[in-house]
Chains A and B, each alone.
Chain A
Amino acid sequence: MSDRALKAAGAAQRGDGEDAARAAKIRRSAWLLAGVAVFFYVGYMAWMVIRANVG
């Protein structure tokens, strides 16, 4: 990791500064996108199961 990335990571752990806010936003965005992917994965199968039970 570069100095800037290390600083951001350190600041995020300490919870201070603009770098911490940016690191937190990155983590939030990444988890949100991962959630979307899991939603599509599980959601599609759940929809198929529900459709089969209804039909």
Chain B
Amino acid sequence: MSSTAIDTHAHGHGHAEHHAPRGLMRWITTTNHKEIGTLYLVWSLLMLFVGGGMAMVIRAELFQPGMQFVNPQFFNSMTTMHALIMVFAMIMPAFAGFANWMIPLMIGAPDMALPRLNNWSFWLLPFAVGLLLLTLFMPGGAPAGGWTLYPPLVLQTADAFPFAVFAVHLLGVSSILAAINIIVTIMNLRAPGMTLLKMPMFVWTWLITAYLLVLAMPVLAGAVTMLLTDRFFGTSFFSAAGGGDPVLFQHIFWFFGHPEVYIIILPAFGIVSEIIPTFARKPLFGYAAMVYATASIAFLSLVVWAHHMFTAGMPLAGQLFFMLSTMIIAVPTGVKVFNWTATLWKGSLTFETPMLYALAFLFLFTLGGFSGLMLAIVPADVQYHDTYFVVAHFHYVLVPGALFGAFGGAYYWLPKWTGYMYDEKLGKLHFWLTCIFTNLTFFPQHFLGLAGMPRRIPDYAPQFADFNMMSSIGAFGLGLSQLLFVYIIVKCVRGGPKATAQVWDNPAGLEWTVPSPAPHHTFDEPPVIK
């Protein structure tokens, strides 16, 4: 946020529970942005363990060569469901939770613009995910063709197929409704004087993410609807036998799928852009450049999709276009990394848990970005494609990138949400365990991929054994470390040292002008931004 003087008055009051239902009905019927934010965040933590449990099954099976615990069909279901759950049910709702909690507080709005739609957006999620998880118990098992749902393989899914397709539709509707709400909230409910270029970076990244969601999610819905009609209504969109083209599905899927990567990572960029200035005690370097870089990344994400398909066959001109457009994304991303680094330069740095996560994000996400550049090079990609190198790459983007951003944000705003400081020693312990085990899990996968180990297989040749064992030990440690995160949150919710309104040392932003915990209603009278 650019330097802004804030005239604060009458921010919060305590008429919280007037005519509010109690117990379960309070949470089912709530239209309060803070409560819905809490629902999203608790839900995503639950899903972290569901999706993480599936990852444990995968890594247990891969601990050593040979078939150990599960059959290949179930292993493939685990890889498919792990990805679907982590992407659609865990990390996207986590950032929706941050958006619900923080956007109205950051822009001085009393609530989201469409509170009942907000409630509906959240409550679609449990039904969609329930539908998806129930396919595990259906005859023939859950979908096992990978989260990309490529035909013709996915059309071999047994009874679970229409349920999975319906679940994906519901998840998409939930995301689109949340995105619409976020856009209209930001565009219409900003406090007087808060121009677009005075908005906090987190709000900017979410505004851009929300537009990406409205553009990309319907394309996925269209693709899976066409799969459904191919399977049940005799169409041949993707069936070569009927004159269709299976590669067409890959184009449509990745037209959604690549922006989806940025839908996941941009809000994490926003969180890191809030954390680093606070703990460097300096304003964000190059605020306007950060905004334009974010918008450029979002635009470019719409024109790079076929870099996922270099081995599917495409004309040389297509390969060149998608290789170069992918590499160009490194420019605005480099601007962001440079600006975060410049914000740190000569700052009065302290290393509380949120800052540790932000710094780890900076180093490790950049590492994931570099392996992405390697994959963008067509002749190299032909070698790396469908190997563990790709698995290592996208996990470096999504775990130290998106998940570390979410952890950093959780520690950063937890005192504002609960009114209590979390246990800093335990927070740092959680950070170091998570950081070490993340690298132990995913770094060896680069070597496995470069040595030629294919992804999505339950068994492998003996020469891959050592790195797989290291990766599995890292994964078990990473999973167990998250129990500590739950303990820290529960401990913080139950009590601890009282948090002040500012929480940290002079942070910027309207959210720090309201008491901690933030009252049920805030900004009934809009603050004036001078």
Contact = CB atoms under 8 A, between A and B. Distances in A.
Contacts of A5: 110-111, 115
A13 B32 CA distance: 20
B130 to A, nearest CB: 23
Contacts of A2: 110-111, 521-524
A44 B237 contact: no
Given A33-B183, A33-B184, A38-B218, A1 B115 contact: yes
Contacts of A36: 214-215
Interface residues of B, number: 38
B226 A48 contact: yes
B106 interface: no
B523 A4 contact: yes
A54 B397 CA distance: 41
Contacts of A3: 110, 521, 524
A45 B183 contact: no
Nearest to A28: B184
B111 A30 contact: no
Interface in B216-258: 217-219, 221-223, 225-226, 236-237, 243-244, 248, 252
Interface string B97-117: 000000000000011011101
B188 interface: yes
B31 A30 contact: no
A3 B77 CA distance: 49
A48 B172 CA distance: 21
Q: Is the interface of B mostly helix, strand, loop or mixed?
A: helix
A52 interface: yes
Interface in A5-50: 5, 22, 25-26, 29-30, 33-34, 36-42, 44-45, 48
B176 interface: yes
Given A4-B523, A29-B183, A45-B225, 17 more contacts: A1-B115, A5-B115, A29-B184, A30-B114, A30-B117, A33-B179, A33-B180, A33-B184, A34-B176, A36-B214, A38-B218, A40-B222, A41-B218, A45-B226, A48-B237, A52-B237, A52-B243
Interface of B: 31-32, 110-111, 113-115, 117, 176, 179-181, 183-184, 187-188, 214-215, 217-219, 221-223, 225-226, 236-237, 243-244, 248, 252, 521-526
Give the 3 A-B residue pairs with the shortest CB-CB distance, closest first: A2-B110, A40-B218, A41-B218
9 contacts: A1-B32, A4-B526, A30-B114, A37-B176, A40-B219, A40-B222, A44-B219, A44-B223, A52-B244
